[in-house]
Amino acid sequence: MKRVVSTPAADGRQFADPAFSATVVAWQKQHGRHALPWQNTRDAYRIWLSEIMLQQTQVTAVIPYYQRFLQRFPDVATLAAAPAEDVMAHWSGLGYYTRARNLHRCAQIVMEAHGGSFPADPALLAQLPGIGRSTAAAIAAFAYGARAAILDGNVKRVFARVFGIDAYPGEKRVEDTLWLRAEALLPEEGIESYTQGLMDLGATLCTRSRPSCERCPLAPRCIAFGTARTAELPVRKPKKAVPEKHAAMLVVEHEGHILLQQRPDSGIWGGLLSLPEVGGFTPLEGAAGAVPPLPEDALRQATAPFGEPASSERLPAVVHVFTHFKLHIIPYRVHLARRLPMAAQGGHVWLPTAALAQAPLPAPIKKLLLGM
């Protein structure tokens, strides 16, 4: 198989260090991970799927989802042809649902524009939905042997500690320099072992807390280890206050069924089924327990389109933390004496309680419903 080659930028050559990559390659071959479900293959589809699932998600959490996903969607053609709700149902619980929507659209573009084969060129891969520069490089390296640099969170941490980078890696100026370094450090041979080795070091030894420096092959040259600064590097992102919001949601029940509503494709929980909301997400002032209850007439008005209420109660709040804010869900459980046919309109659907476990629901909503 012909190897795709990309040359490091000329102004990053001061970072060249063949001994670094040689150490990583040798360590990975002997001590790295070799039995993950997506390893030992050149199948770009399986590699791509794993890389998307592994974005911001731990390996142990990904493995069961990856295996179930492949059982239902064994190849890119099957995934591209599948209904969106089926894809979302198999992703439900893994979080960051934009990944699932991009995954589905990417599969369709690969079928439509690339004849069902993922491009070998990292630059072309990076143009596909949900595939950034680092992910494109990983796919190209593992599937096609492309000499391309990765720079995910684990790699940034390894570089920051080994080379003593005393600045926040997410700052654009710092990140641009890290990319130059990543390109310059690429080995001439063994790109697969090198790429996997960087991932393995960051995931198993050079961890965020309590790194195993005594087992790290880079310890003799690591500035953070040598100066006892592994707890300080990489420099953490400057803290900002996390906004808090609350949302009143209706748990409407009738004869063993729960009323759900499909959310818009874009935004929070895009494309998933969720509970009907009353008033949307509102900034939280004070404690969630201090949120005044919905007035009786407001609750009655919110449930009127669905049927005639027999009883209602406010349930304990459920807290869910997103990347940029914390949401306090204030659920109201409403039993209907009878339901109206119009509840099936406007994206609403009645689902049997026995089907909730397999439904495409956001994790906190599924936890709330299954815990009642």
Is 277 annotated as catalytic?
Answer: no
Q: What angle do CA 176, 172, 102 make, to 5 degrees?
A: 90
Task: Report in angstroms the alpha-carbon separations of 130 from 33, 42, 315.
Answer: 25, 20, 37
- Strand-pairing partners, residue 311, are 335
Place of tokens 């494709």: 265
Question: CB-based contacts of 114: which residues, under 8 Å, 6+ apart?
Answer: none
Query: What does the angle CA 213 – CA 214 – CA 218 come to, to the nearest 5 degrees?
Result: 60
SS3 of 277-312: EEEEEEECCCCHHHCCCCCHHHHHHHHCCCEEEEEE
Q: Which residue has the tokens 């049927």?
A: 307
Among 6, 241, 263, residue whose Cα is nearest residue 140: 6
Residue 286 zone, left/alpha/beta (φ > 0; ψ -120 to 50; rest): left
Active site residues per annotation: 51
